[in-house]
Amino acid sequence: MIPYVWMEERAVRDVTKHAVLNLIVMTALLSVVGVTILVDMSVIVKIGIVVIAFAGVIVYSIVISEKISEKREQDDYYRKQRDNIELQLIIDAMRSEYPFIMIQNVTKDTCRVEYNETEGKDKHAAPTINATLDLVLNTIPEPIHRAEFQRKFSREALLKAYEEGQTTVRCCVKQKINDESHWMDSMAILYRSNDGDIHNVSMVRNIDDDLRKAHEFEEALSDAEATTRAKTNFLTSMSHEIRTPINAVLGMNTMILRETNQDNIREYARDVQNAANTLLGLMNDILDFAKIQSGKMEVLPAKYDLGPTIDELLRVIKPKAHEKGLAFEVKIDPETPALLVGDAVRIKQIMANLLNNAVKYTEKGSITFEVGYDRISKEQIDLLIAVTDTGIGMKPESIEAIFSSNYRLEENRNKNIEGTGLGLSITRELLSRMGSKLEIESTYGQGSTFAFKIEQKIWSEGTLAGTQERVAAQKNEDEAMENFHAPDAKILVIDDVEMNIVVVRSLLKRIGIGIDSALNGADGIELAKNNKYDIIFIDAMMPKMDGTETMENIRKKCPLNKGVPMIVLTANAVQGAKDEYLREGFTDYLAKPIESKLMEAMIKHYLSSNLVVPYEVEEEESEQEEFTGVLAEINKIPGIDVGLGIETSSQEEIYIKICKMFYDSGYERIKMIEDYFNEKDIQNYTIQVHALKSSARLLGHMEFSEAAKALEMAGRENDVETIERDTPALLEEYKRVVQALSEVYNTSENDDREEIPEDELKGMLMEMQEALSAFDHDTSAMIMDALEEYKLPDGFTATYSKLKTGMAEVDRDGMLTEIESYLQRCQ
Amino acid sequence: MEKSVLFIDNKDSFLLRTIRKDLEATEYECLTSVFDVQTLSKKKDTLPELIILCVEQEITSDMQALIFLRDLCIDDGHQLAFIGYEEDIREAKKIIASEYIVGEFLRPINAKQVVEEVKKILDRTGADSHKKHILIVDDSGTMLNTIKSWLEEKYRISMVNSALNAITFLANNSPDLVLLDYDMPVCTGPQLLEMIRSDVKTQDIPVIFLTAKGDRESVMKVLSLRAQGYLLKSMPRDHIVSEIDAFFEKLKAKGIRK
C-alpha cells in the first residue's frame, strides 16, 4: 500500500517532502560513498542506519503531529490526489538512483512494484513478501549471499527488525539477471502508516559501477604506495650517489688539513669540512625520514657503553652552545649504569637531535642536559634523558602538532632554521620504535624541556662515573696502536671511484704500507690471483661486479689469498648493513668517509704483528706544527730549518731579525759575489762567501752554509777551478732563498711597502683578465711583477698565490676563474 | 734609422707598457702623451708620423681633441692606429675618416701582436724581417716556460696549456708554427692535430710534435699524422732551437723557390 500520510498544510507538506528528499539524497550520497564500502563497510552501514533512522523519526513525528492537529473530515478524494502527487514526487526522486522500487505492506503481506526500469526484474515480484523473496533468492548463486539475503528480507525478519527499532535493512549481493552476474544493493525502508500497518519501501540498484570505482580506487591506492616505495628507493640510492662525492671531498680535505701549513688554506679546508659534514648530516636525515616512511627504520639493540656515547655527543654540542654564548650545564647521575643493551646509534641520534634543537632555538641563556635512571630490576633500568633550554619555547598547539600522527615540518616555522626540519619527526618516530615517547614541557617564550625514558638492559656492571677510567684504558690501547709502520705489508684496494683510491693512498701514506689498487672487481680478482695480500679492502657498490661478488670470487678463485681478511668499504649507513656484510662473508666493515685513524687501527688489527713496526714521530715534524706567522712561512722554504736556526741564534726574536737582515742584504750581496767572481777578485770574493757561510748557518740552512764554507776554503787556497765550477750553483741557491724570503715578507704583515689602492688593484686585475683572454702571457707577467711592488690586501693573498702558480703553470683558465671570482667577491 | 711612434693613452695601462717595452727593445722610439689638445698642440711639430690612440669612452667623448687629431692627419699627414673596444672605435671613426686609419686593434688584444703589426706599419717591409710566431701547446707549465725561454729571443711565443685553449687561440691567431705536446689529458696532441687539419682556417699551419717518447713506433705514429716533424723533449736546448731555426729556413727556401 501507499504510505498514507495526512497532509493538509503546505508547510508541513514541504517539510515532509524535504525530509524524505533528504533521506533520498542521503541515500544517494551513501551510494557515492559506497566507494568506500569495501574499505570499511560496517562503519558506513552504521552511519547510513543512523542517518536514515533520524530521517525516519522526522517523518514519523510529522505523521503523528499531523494526526493530532489536522481535521480528518477533509475530502478523501483531494487528499488521495495530493498523496499521489507527493508520492509521485518522492518516487521520481528515488527513480534517479533506484531503477526498481517495490512497496510492501509487511503487516498484510502484500507487494506491489511501484517502479521498474530494469528488464526482467519484474519476474522477481510475487503477491506475497516471502514468495517475492523466493524469486529473488533463486537469482543469487552464492549460498552465503543467499543466506544473508533471506535472513534480512523475509517477512518475519522485517517485522522483527521494525520491532527492534530498525528502519532500514540493507544487503549487497551478487544476483544473476538475464544470465549476467551483477552486484545488487537492496535496501528496505520500514515505517508504520497511520492505519497501524508496517510498510517497507524496497529499492534495488546495480552497484557494479561503484564496485569498479572502488576497485580503481584500490588500484590507485596501491599505485600511490608503489610511488612512495619508488620515492624511498630513489632517496636511498640518491643518498648513496651524493655521499660518494662528499666522501671523496672529505677525504681529500683531510689530506689538505694534514699537509698544509698555511693558515688560510687550513681555514678554508675546515670550512669545507664543516660544510661537507653538514651536508652529510642532512643526507642522513633525509635517508632516515625515507626509511620511516617506508617502514624500514630498524632498531637494533646491542651492547654499548653509555659513557663515551655521551662524551662524544657533548664534545660536539658544547662548542656549538658556547659559540652562541649559551651556558651548557650537564647534570649526570654518576650512579647511572653505563654498560647497557640498546641501539646506541639511535639513542645518540635522539639525544643529538634534542641538543641540536635546543642550541638552534635558544638565543640566550642556557641549555641543561640531564641523565639519570630508574631501576626496574637488577638487570633493567629506565634511562632518563632530559634537555632543557631557555629558548623560544612552543605554543601548546605546536606541541600538539608534534604529537599528531601526521606531523611534518611546518615550513613557516622552520624557514629560518637550517636543517631539514625532520629532526623531531625522526626523534618521535625512533622513540616510538623503541617503545618510548617524547615528553615536552614548554612555555612559549620561556623555554622547553624535552625528555624521554627508555628501557635498557644492563649487560655488565659499570656506571657513568667509571667512564673516565674506561675511556683512559681504551685510549692507552689506542695510543699504543698509533704511529706504526708496516713497510713489508701489502694491501689491495678495490674501488670503482679513482678518487677514493687516491684518498686511501694518501691517508695511508704515513704508515708506509704497500698498496695495490683496482678500479673494478675483475681487475681486483686478477691481482689477487697473482699477489699475496695481507688485507683486501673492497668497495661495496661497484658497477658490474659488486663488493660481495668480488669478495666471493676472491675467496673461491684466489688460493694465494686464502683466509685473507676482506673488509668492505661502504657509505651505506643503514643500520644492520654491517651485520649483513659480515653474514655475507666479509671479515669486517669500514664506513665511508674513511677516517684515517679507524682505517689504520683496522689495518693494525688485521696485520700479523711481525709486519707492524712501531714508529717514532720525528721531532722536527712535531716542532714544525708550532711555528706561526713568519716563522711558519720561512720554515716552508726548502733547505731552511727554522728549529735549527733558532737554536743557533739562541732566541726566536734574534732569529727573526737575522732572517730579515739576510733578506734585506740579499740582493746586494748576491751582486757583490757575482761582481767579485766575474772580476776574479778572489780576496774580496772569499770575504763575501765567508760572511755567507755564517749567515746561512744562522738562517738554519746548513747545506748552503757548507757550500759557502767550501768556496771560502777554495778562495783561501786560491783554488780558482773549484770557485769557477761551484759559484754559479751557490749564487743560484742564494737567489732562490732570497726570492723565497721575499715572498714571505711581501705577504706577511711586517711589510713596509705601500698598500695598493683598491681601485688600482681592480684595474690591474681587469687588465690582466684582458691580457689572459688574448693569450698575452707577457703582459700578465708584467702585471704580476707590478703587483709585487705593492703590499697586497689580506683578502687577496690567496688569490695572488694562486695567480703566481697559474703563471708558472700557464694555467690561463684557472687564472681567469681566479680573477673573476676575486672581482666578484669585491663587489 | 730610428723609427718612432706616439701612444696616446689616458691611463697608463700595462698593455701599452708591454708594447712600448717590446718596441723599445728593438730600437723603436716610443713617445707617450695624454689625450689633451693643449698637450698635443705644444708638441705638434715633433710628433711622429704614427700615432696610436687608445680609444675609450673618455676619449670618444672629447670631441675637440678628436677633431684636433683628425686635422693633424689631414694637414700634416700623420697616420692613426686605434686600440680599443669595437664600440669605442666605431665612435671615434665617426670623426676620423678611415682613410687615415692604418690599423685597428680590437680588445682584448695581445701585446706581441700589436708590436708586430706596428713594426710592419713602421717598416713597410715584408713580414720576413719580423719574428715568427710560435704557439706552444703543452699541459706542463714548466715545459711551456722552459721552451718559451729557449725560443723567445728569436721568436714570438704564445703558450697554452690545453688543447681547448689552443683551439680558442687558433680561432683568432694564425701562428707560423705550432709546437704540440703528444701526451695531454682530455684531448691529446694527435686529436688536436686532427682538429687543426680539419679546419680550413688552420689546416695549413705547420705542426711539430714535441714528445717524450723516442721509440720507433711512436715516431712512426707521429709522422703518419701529417705533422711537419717531431722533436724529443729530451733533446738539449741548442738542438731544439736549431731544429726550429732549420724548419723556418726550409720554409723560406721553399717560398723563394716558388
Q: Which three cell numbers stand for residue A659?
A: 732572517
Q: What gap in Å lies between CA B17 and CA A778, rounded to an integer? A: 11
Mean pLDDT confidence for A719-744: 86
Exposure letters B156-170 (e unless 16+ CB within 10 A, then b): bbbbbbbbebbbbbb
Nearest to B14 among A764, A777, A812 (CB): A764
pLDDT of residue A533: 92
How much is the pLDDT for A535? 93
Most confident of A216-230, A379-393, B58-72: A379-393
Nearest CB to A812 within list B17, B107, B161: B161
Angle (nearest 5°) at CA A240 between A236 and A242: 115
| Residue-wise pLDDT tens digits, A433-472 | 888 888 888 888 788 899 999 999 988 888 887 776 766 6
Q: What is the pLDDT of residue A330?
A: 87
Write the DSSP assignment of A74-142 as a string of letters: S-HHHHHHHHHHHHHHHHHHHHHH-SEEEEEETTTTEEEEEEE-STTGGGG--SSHHHHHHHHHHT---
So what's the pLDDT on residue A50? Answer: 60
At A363 the pLDDT is: 84
**Least reliable range by pLDDT among A245-254, A677-686, B78-87, B159-168:** A245-254
Contacts of A767 in chain B (CB under 8 A): 13-15
Question: Which residues of chain B make contact with A773, given a CB cutoff of 8 A?
Answer: 108
* B222 lies within 8 A of chain A by CB: no
DSSP state, residue A613: E
Q: How far apart are CA A663 and CA A637, in angstroms?
A: 13
- Better-predicted residue by pLDDT, A757 or A242: A757
Radius of gyration of chain B (CA): 22
Weakest-pLDDT range from A420-424, A515-519, B92-96: A420-424
Is the CB of residue B106 less than 8 Å away from at least one CB of chain A? Answer: no
Say which residues have a Cβ less than 8 Å from residue B13's Cβ, sequence separation at least 6.
A767, B54
Q: Is the pLDDT of residue A34 over 50?
A: no
- Banded model confidence at residue A19, pLDDT cuts 50, 70, 90: low
pLDDT reported for residue A2: 40
Q: Is the pLDDT of residue A545 over 50?
A: yes
Instruction: Give the predicted TM-score (pTM) of the model.
Output: 0.34
Phi, psi for A382 (deg, rounded to 5): -100, 115
What pLDDT was estimated at residue A8?
44
Chain A CB contacts of B22 below 8 Å: 778
Task: State residue A524's pLDDT score.
Answer: 92
| Nearest residue to A98 (alpha-carbon basis) of A189, A16, A4 | A189
Distance between A792 CA and the closest CA of chain B, angstroms: 18
> How many helices (H) and strands (E) in chain A?
30, 19
For residue A770, what is the nearest residue in chain B, using CA coordinates?
B108
The confidence score (pLDDT) of residue A414 equals: 44
Provide the pLDDT confidence category of residue A273 given band limits of 50, 70 and 90. confident
Which among A314-318, A822-826, B42-46 has the top mean pLDDT? A822-826
What would the mean pLDDT of A95-121 be, rounded to a whole number?
77
Distance CA A587, CA A597 (A): 19
Q: How far is B77 from chain A (nearest CA, A)?
A: 32
Percent of chain A with pLDDT over 70: 76
The mean predicted confidence, pLDDT, of chain A is 77
Q: Which residues of A touch B160 (CB under 8 A)?
A: 775, 810, 812
Amino acid residing at A501:
I
Residue B179 banded pLDDT, cuts 50, 70, 90:
very high
pLDDT higher at A737 or A789: A737
At residue A412 the predicted structure's pLDDT band, cuts being 50, 70 and 90, is: very low
A606, pLDDT greater than 80 = yes
Measure the CA angle with vertex B221, ends B218 and B227; round to 5°: 115
Instruction: Say which of A779, A786, A811 has its CB closest to residue B141.
Output: A811
Q: Tell me the nearest-neighbour CA distance from A762 into chain B, angstroms.
A: 13
The mean pLDDT of A729-749, rounded to a whole number, is 80
Closest CA to A150 of A166, A176, A168, A129: A129
Least confident range of A106-110, A193-197, A306-310, A671-675 = A193-197
Q: What is the pLDDT of residues B218-243, one digit of tens each?
A: 777 777 777 788 888 777 788 888 88
Q: What is the pLDDT of residues A577-601, one digit of tens each?
A: 677 788 888 988 887 767 777 788 8
Strands B177-181 and B229-232: unpaired
So what's the pLDDT on residue A165?
Answer: 83
In which band, very low, low, confident or very high, does the pLDDT at B210 lie, cut at 50, 70 and 90?
confident
Q: CA nearest B167 in A: which residue? A: A775
What average pLDDT does range A77-83 have in this prediction? Answer: 62
Share of chain B above pLDDT 90, in %: 4
* Chain B residues inside the 8 Å CB shell of A813: 162, 165
